[in-house]
Structure 1
Amino acid sequence: MADIENTDPKYVVDTLIAEDIDEYLSQHEHKTMLRFITCGSVDDGKSTLIGRLLYDSKMIFEDQLDALANDSKKVGTQGQDIDFALLVDGLAAEREQGITIDVAYRFFNTEKRKFIVADCPGHEQYTRNMVTGASSADLAVILIDARKGVLVQTRRHSYLCHLIGIKNIVLAVNKMDLVDYSQEVFDKIVADYSEFAASIGIESFTAMPISGFKGDNITSLSENTPWYKGDAYAGVPLVEHLENVEVLSSVDADKPFRMPVQWVNRPNLDFRGFSGQIATGSVKPGEKIRVLPSGKTSTVSKIVTFDGDLDEAVAGQSVTICFEDEIDCSRGSVISVADSPPQTADQFESTFVWLADEAMVPGRAYWLKLGTQMVSATVAEPKYEVNVNTMEKLAAKTLELNAIGVAELTTDKQIVFEPYAENRQLGGFILIDKMTNATVAAGMINFSLRRSQNVHWQAVDIGRRQHSALKNQVPALLWFTGLSGSGKSTIANMVEKKLHRMNRHTFLLDGDNVRHGLNKDLGFTEADRIENIRRVGEVSKLMTDAGLIVITAFISPFQADREMVRSMMPEGEFFEVFIDTPLKVAEARDVKGLYKKAREGKLKNFTGIDSPYEAPRSPEIRIDTTTMSPEEAADLIVDTLLGDA
């Protein structure tokens, strides 16, 4: 207490109140934070439990209580003033159906700790939302309805929690009041869950009999379960367990220093720092660091924050780090301790949780976001899919919504990573559809493939620039796309003849021709079409490296695959040529008789009939064959190419 010389009563009271406030704020400022989720099957009582935690921790205002009391009457709560689930189920659709759809985050605190809890949906169709909530959690409370026992969604959520790396698991057997607080029921559920948990690698969990509705064993031990105090059980209420469990940040602090760079802080010419949140470990001024993937090293000159410079920064803090040397470092780079850096690679074995309604397409290019790194990536055909009920490894050609599987992943450039089991921030990623920007999968890197570490680029003295200079031309890739019968091959052939007469060095890759050799092993499924385009793209890149002007004529129906090839090429050297011919016109030509076969059902997966064609959104060149002759089209393409060159 401060030395109070002024004896005025009001001054004394105000001083004491101010001291109490300062002490209160100081206590709360230094509390640790626990992030946890509640999950399980539908109607296991997740939202009710969180509502009870908010209510018991005095985190609800009077006006909220009044509003909730009125809402509870509308939904017909069973003799209770408040339906605690309504504190969390904020969406109208959730209240109407009595279920959770989206992830709801809530904050509360006790005398010992601060909490952020995510209420995750139980329905299978919203599994993607559950994965979102679990991705940053230190602990998972898996609820089980005491009347129903272990269900399919209980297993799925448990497996996902284990997969995502949540070590602290509480098995909350809820609604014990509806089974007369039976120890026999509780013990059977725990035994069933123990058998399943062991099969998926969960080494330990804490089981508790609770009632979110009645408040049993939530903040204090219940007299209704006197048997829970025995040596065979945890014997503590849920809140006490949450207050004392170890949090993830304390574990991360003991690991080597890692910080993904979020942005380069350059407010003026006299300051240059690199900002981000420290993923693991700690760092001090004067310590040697290494920047990846470049591998350049330097020394930390200072650690800057809004509140001033730090003598040390630890995992979980957001800081700006300055170097003594001017070395290459940008968004997506990872700053690490110099003598123990993370790995870099471009091929991995990864575990996926597929989150999109559309099935995974092996070979298709997606955006991969890992921390602050963003690269293009393709996924191979799955090695297997996991049956969450039996833990069997099933053969699979693709992954459907909510499926969990293992497959190889290839990125277009090396990324900085660590296995997910060691570092969630540098081992966990999401896949994003390039066309819709929708998140289609969450993934975890298991390890890099050995060939990724053993195969390196060989430096050569004669490269793309020298080859181009010898041929006195700028290399380019003219990528013709359009429906079958649109005139791609005819126009492409004319373009090559015109360029040849102008002494340009060219090579024409025709869709039919490459299927006699390079791609003779591929069919016409969506996955095979993607691989067909990938191979042609790689060959085209090699040919342009040799200084050639490459002309390709492929239906290439998918925008994502054409963009994949574009990403292989240097800026300005890829020309998408859209041969825009209406389906009726192309089908009327039908010089190969393919449309007729497709209409008769004799030719499956034919573009325009039973397989879609995604027209280019902004091609470099568009040819309308209903208003332009092949000769005129060829002239326009050559003029555009050489004019830009």
Structure 2
Amino acid sequence: MVISFFLPTTFFCIMLSGFQGKTVEVGRAHFETENTRFTILDAPGHKSYVPNMISGASQADVGVLVISARKGEFETGYEKGGQTREHVQLAKTLGVSKLVVVVNKMDDHTVNWSKERYDEIESKMTPFLKLSGYNAKKDVHFLPISGLIGSNMASKVDSKLCSWWDGPSLFEVLDTIEIPPRDPKGPVRMPIIDKYKDMGTVVMGKIESGTIQENDNLLLMPNKAHVKVLAIYRDENKSRRAGPGENVRVKLSGVEEEDILAGFVLSSAVNPVHVVYEFNAQLQILELLDNAIFTAGYKAILHIHSIVEDSEIVELIEEIDVKKKKDADPKKKKSKRRPLFVKNGAVVVCRIQVNNLICIENFSDFPQLGRFTLRTEGKTIAVGKVVALPPPGCSIFAS
């Protein structure tokens, strides 16, 4: 089994780090247990680098949310507008279905492995996790650790340090997490997160669907380049094939490195990924900037798999009344309510347009290529999913 997980924190600075000890880029590392091979995607926790965190989370199956047990530090991240809240919401939106909440710094002299402090943090986090869409009993695991001395990480914490904890260690939790299955026989979908030259053209990414083998003939979209797979690398090891869920490097012929951008998708030639200028989406508005109105003409930065693209709301199609929808009689047809604008908390179906061709899919077909966030001025203002694409052969809807 292969699992990728991300750490939206500054705790694990595995590969690339920036000033003041903060992780800036998404670092990568690997380790294995008896049952599982893990790829660590170390994502930045600082609010200035949320787009980098989005890049890491979009490739992950499991999120490890590291929270400080120190007085004041947890509260700062958890308060309205804090990074802990935004990271949880983004993780769920980006398809991170399982979350491990690690309460760190339990050895700090102000905490001293206090069960009361641990319970306080868990009791405050749980309701918010439920509101964000997580099943707190099935999808979330809480546990205490000390990263500084390595307690309760690879092996269970010593009872002399923490007599009240009888749960598993971090590695034990990670090794038993079940992740949603992907289709190894489906059409190939591998969003490109990076590329470089190394005796040829090499692309990096996570295979979301299908299996890639040496000598496969594929399409690189949206530029429709016919490419051939020369080699596949998992971690540092060469492999003849790789399946869904694996983070890989693929050496290609038929395309130059300078002709590839992050957000391109390595795709089946028979069943290629959709390429569009616009799409219909169901959006949930989280919190708009002060004095902002969400209406046709609203502009924001779209983040979908490894794509970062300027976008504009060109039409509000329908506002969904979530409360009434639950009680609605499916046999009764109701006329759509086409709003002029919507407010915080609204759920709306709208049409979104971008400046450049992008590779996306309907959420119902390929969730990882169909969920996204909208951000403006450094703040996540909406999360959404793709619900309709233009007809085959078209990049825009007919007017």
Normalised by the shorter chain, which TM-score bucket?
A: 0.5 to 0.7
Equivalent positions of 1:140-539 (< 5 A) are 140-146=63-69, 147=71, 151-152=78-79, 153=82, 154-177=84-107, 178-203=110-135, 204-222=139-157, 223=159, 224-229=161-166, 235-243=167-175, 245=177, 251=182, 253=184, 255-259=186-190, 278-283=207-212, 303-305=229-231, 312-315=241-244, 316-319=247-250, 335-336=267-268, 338=270, 343=274, 346-349=278-281, 351=283, 363=297, 377-380=311-314, 408-411=351-354, 416-420=359-363, 423=366, 426-427=369-370, 446-449=385-388, 452-453=390-391
Against the structure 1 CA distance between its residues 133 and 292, is the aligned structure 2 distance closer, same or farther, given a 3 Å change threshold? closer
Against the structure 1 CA distance between its residues 287 and 398, is the aligned structure 2 distance closer, same or farther, given a 3 Å change threshold? same
- Mapped partners of 1:313, 1:106: distance in 2: 18
Against the structure 1 CA distance between its residues 430 and 228, is the aligned structure 2 distance closer, same or farther, given a 3 Å change threshold? closer
Residue 27 of structure 2 aligns to which amino acid in structure 1?
Answer: Y
Q: Deviations over 1:410-456 (max 9, x none)?
A: 246875422457646533568899xxxx9997986512348x55997
Unaligned runs of 5+ in 2: 195-200, 255-259, 320-338
Pick from 91, 95, 106 the counterpart of residue 19 of structure 2.
91
1:138 paired residue number: 61
Residue 189 of structure 2 aligns to which amino acid in structure 1?
Answer: R
1:105 paired residue number: 27
- Is contact 1:303–1:312 with CA below 8 Å preserved after alignment? no
- Mapped partners of 1:294, 1:127: distance in 2: 28
- Mapped partners of 2:193, 2:64: distance in 1: 32
- Number of matched pairs: 341
Unaligned runs of 5+ in 1: 1-30, 40-45, 60-87, 95-99, 230-234, 264-272, 324-329, 385-394, 458-537, 539-645
- Mapped partners of 1:210, 1:106: distance in 2: 22
Q: Deviations over 1:5-48 (max 9, x none)?
A: xxxxxxxxxxxxxxxxxxxxxxxxxx957442144xxxxxx53x
Residue 154 of structure 2 aligns to which amino acid in structure 1?
Answer: T
- Is contact 2:67–2:102 with CA below 8 Å preserved after alignment? yes
More helix by proportion, 1 or 2?
A: 1
- Is contact 2:94–2:368 with CA below 8 Å preserved after alignment? no
- Mapped partners of 2:53, 2:302: distance in 1: 20
- Mapped partners of 1:274, 1:90: distance in 2: 25
- Mapped partners of 2:92, 2:114: distance in 1: 29
- Is contact 1:420–1:444 with CA below 8 Å preserved after alignment? no
1:118 paired residue number: 42
Q: Deviations over 1:266-304 (max 9, x none)?
A: xxxxxxx99885442115699998998899xx9x9x743
- Mapped partners of 2:394, 2:30: distance in 1: 52
1:246 deviates by 5.4
Against the structure 1 CA distance between its residues 443 and 417, is the aligned structure 2 distance closer, same or farther, given a 3 Å change threshold? farther
1:239 deviates by 3.0
TM-score w.r.t. structure 2 length?
0.58
2:257 paired residue number: none
Q: What is the DSSP-based 3-state SS (H/G/I as helix, E as strand, rest coil) of the residue aligned with 1:189?
A: helix
Residue 6 of structure 2 aligns to which amino acid in structure 1?
Answer: F
Against the structure 1 CA distance between its residues 353 and 134, is the aligned structure 2 distance closer, same or farther, given a 3 Å change threshold? farther
- Decide which moves more: 368-377 or 159-168: 368-377
Q: Deviations over 1:213-235 (max 9, x none)?
A: 45431232221333322xxxxx2
- Mapped partners of 2:94, 2:113: distance in 1: 33
1:174 deviates by 2.8
- Mapped partners of 2:62, 2:86: distance in 1: 16
1:81 paired residue number: none
- Is contact 1:37–1:139 with CA below 8 Å preserved after alignment? no
- Is contact 1:427–1:444 with CA below 8 Å preserved after alignment? no
1:206 deviates by 0.7
1:355 deviates by 12
- Mapped partners of 2:382, 2:368: distance in 1: 12
More strand by proportion, 1 or 2?
A: 2
1:391 paired residue number: none
1:164 deviates by 1.6
- Is contact 1:354–1:360 with CA below 8 Å preserved after alignment? no
Q: Deviations over 1:553-608 (max 9, x none)?
A: xxxxxxxxxxxxxxxxxxxxxxxxxxxxxxxxxxxxxxxxxxxxxxxxxxxxxxxx
The structure having more radius of gyration, on CA atoms, is 1
Residue 165 of structure 1 aligns to which amino acid in structure 2?
Answer: G
1:163 deviates by 1.4
Q: Deviations over 1:513-558 (max 9, x none)?
A: xxxxxxxxxxxxxxxxxxxxxxxxx9xxxxxxxxxxxxxxxxxxxx
- Mapped partners of 1:281, 1:312: distance in 2: 11
Against the structure 1 CA distance between its residues 256 and 399, is the aligned structure 2 distance closer, same or farther, given a 3 Å change threshold? farther
- Is contact 1:141–1:170 with CA below 8 Å preserved after alignment? yes
Residue 91 of structure 1 aligns to which amino acid in structure 2?
Answer: F
TM-score w.r.t. structure 1 length?
0.39
Q: What is the DSSP-based 3-state SS (H/G/I as helix, E as strand, rest coil) of the residue aligned with 1:206?
A: strand
2:197 paired residue number: none
Aligned-residue CA RMSD (Å): 5.8
Q: What is the DSSP-based 3-state SS (H/G/I as helix, E as strand, rest coil) of the residue aligned with 1:212?
A: coil
Q: What is the DSSP-based 3-state SS (H/G/I as helix, E as strand, rest coil) of the residue aligned with 1:169?
A: strand
Against the structure 1 CA distance between its residues 305 and 356, is the aligned structure 2 distance closer, same or farther, given a 3 Å change threshold? farther
